[in-house]
Structure 1
């Protein structure tokens, strides 16, 4: 089915009625899936593929991160190229644009051994321009690249309730959705390659602004003598309600099961938020779009990285503001 994928896809396009496009890959469910990048997000995502019955083969630059997946039945391979040699559906979940470029086009990258007709899905959050570059390089080898960054954090990755924002060929969306639905509750087609990344960096810019606003608001209320749990309750039944206040509150003691309840460990790191805000800032500059609050949020998270918060969850901005206040 996969070897002559391009020719077969054209055939099915012509023979499909009412404009409905059939993806040949949807016929090949439960075949092997490659997964590269087993960090805080990639690890639970790969686990959910296994839970849904997919044979998974994994690779990561840190071999120790593969052990838990191996115990669940995943096959461990040495490099992205090895994964591409054995699987024609591959998902990558990597920290940054340089990591994606290396994993796809490096000496031991996916494109060194990619098969024609392979479906490559990148769930990293990177520069949209890099996604487009990877798509062009992939297409030259007869394969398909789609960007599918995620929202929801580690909790949603663990529970399989992520939101995927997908960019790429529309006729490939159903094939991608088949896999992504094992890891997410929402899989949204955004348009051509790069639009998934565009949606993600816009979302994260708003998330950062909202988290800073929630942290400032909670801090002010506490300074005015309000109990933080009471203040959070009032906010969440009023017009100030947002995800940062009702689902991921940054104040220790207000909610259980969030990084703020565990000294800001786990979750979405401050370094990654600073990186995503940098992507938003660069894109805004290139498109001459004013984003004053996004720019300020970027500055704040960069300051946090320089002052010992790099490895903490991004909601630690509450603690950062409290410490700044005391200086």
Structure 2
């Protein structure tokens, strides 16, 4: 082994990290029931890793096999379909991009409900239409399982550090069991009410996030054009009444903060296309309840235009770059 790795310090370090990560006592592993995890994207991969860190055996699956390699190397068992996961675990967490993906993963030909065991606890952390969560709960109930919605807030950074916020909707008697798992991945786990209310809280939060990010981008842009240094302006905002998450934690201006997407050409993080999707959910909910959301509607239109103009895969904070480019045209 020493001969093989001679001169390859990076590879040795990776091996050490892997051993350290996987060094969970066999007693702890044996004492915890396996958890299924479906959806290993930017968020889900980190969430599944944190379950492993807390000693839970994980059965994982994703439509893209390459997404499974890292979690498999860390000790998870990778299966081909959601149905296979349901056959091996009676507690399953899903983290998927859209309502259609959730419907397919739960009710499709190779979906969870084809093999789900009676008494299984199904936790969906996707951000989807609350009505879809309610429908999945009804379908799960027919199979003797319990479905809970538990969307998250905090972004990739919080997913990696295990500091997510979960908003949970569903049968209150099951909340303690849900909380046991979710506290492995987050610091705040809040019960919101019946199934669908977790989604309601999430789309309200993301509508405010979008409005705040656009406001921060506009404010920073104006200050820069008035001759202010962006780092100084950011410092002033964060010491004043304009302070918000988009200004003090996730600043959209390149060079102001390290470790955020704006410092990496808006790569990683929360995609513009996902923000547009969530704002669409808020728009639909507002229409159905006859609620006025003028700023939410404007934000939705801005992010839809961004998707059409090449920003779909960039982080949603790229709205700063979008506004700058619009002004220069």
Tell me the TM-score normalized by structure 1: 0.91
Residue of 206, 214, 225 corresponding to 1:212: 214
Unaligned runs of 5+ in 2: 1-29
Q: Tell me which residue corresponds to 1:263.
A: 265
Give the one of 235, 238, 245 matched to 2:237.
Answer: 235
The aligned length equals 300
User: 56, 65, 71: which is aligned to 2:67?
Assistant: 65
In the alignment, the residues of structure 2 paired with residue 231 and residue 183 of structure 1 have an alpha-carbon distance, to the nearest angstrom, of 34
SS in 1 for 2:310: coil
1:301 aligns with 2:303: yes
2:86 match: 84
Residue 222 (structure 1) aligns with: 224
SS in 1 for 2:295: helix
Change (3 A) 1:174 1:29: farther
**Does residue 181 of structure 2 align to residue 179 of structure 1?**
yes
| Counterpart position of 1:192 | 194
CA distance in 1, matches of 2:87, 2:54: 23
Partners of 1:39 and 1:124 lie apart in 2 by 11
Tell me the secondary structure at the aligned position of residue 58 of structure 1: strand
Which residue in the other structure is 2:145 paired with? Answer: 143
CA gap of 1:119–1:214, structure 2 versus 1, over 3 A, is same
What do residues 81-129 of structure 1 show as CA deviations (whole Å, max 9, x unaligned)? 0000010000000000000000000000000000000000000000000
For 2:208 and 2:79, the matched residues in 1 are separated by 38
In 1, Cα distance between the equivalents of 2:33 and 2:327? 55
1:41 corresponding residue in structure 2:
43
Q: TM-score, normalised by structure 2?
A: 0.91
C-alpha deviation, 1:30, in angstroms:
1.2
What corresponds to 2:155 in structure 1? 153
Question: Partners in 1 of 2:58 and 2:116 — Cα distance?
Answer: 17
Partner in structure 1 of residue 77 of structure 2: 75
Distance 1:237 1:154 in 2: 26
Residue 121 of structure 1: aligned partner: 123
Instruction: Work out the CA distance in 2 between the residues paired with 1:29 and 1:228.
Output: 52
Shift, 1:29, TM fit:
6.1
Runs of 4+ in structure 1 deviating by more than 3 angstroms, as ranges, are none
Query: Hey, what's the Cα distance between the residues in 2 that align with 1:320 and 1:98?
Result: 29
**Rounded Cα–Cα distance in structure 1 between residues aligned with 2:315 and 2:326:** 17
Q: 1:290 pairs with 289, 292, 295, which one?
A: 292
Give a deviation string over 1:245-274, Cα, whole Å, max 9, x none.
Answer: 000000000000000000000000000000
CA distance in 1, matches of 2:313, 2:144: 39
Q: Aligned with 1:319: secondary structure?
A: helix
Distance in 1, matches of 2:231 and 2:80, equals 48
- SS of 2:211's equivalent in the other structure is helix
Q: What residue ranges of structure 1 are gaps of 5+ in the alignment?
A: 1-27
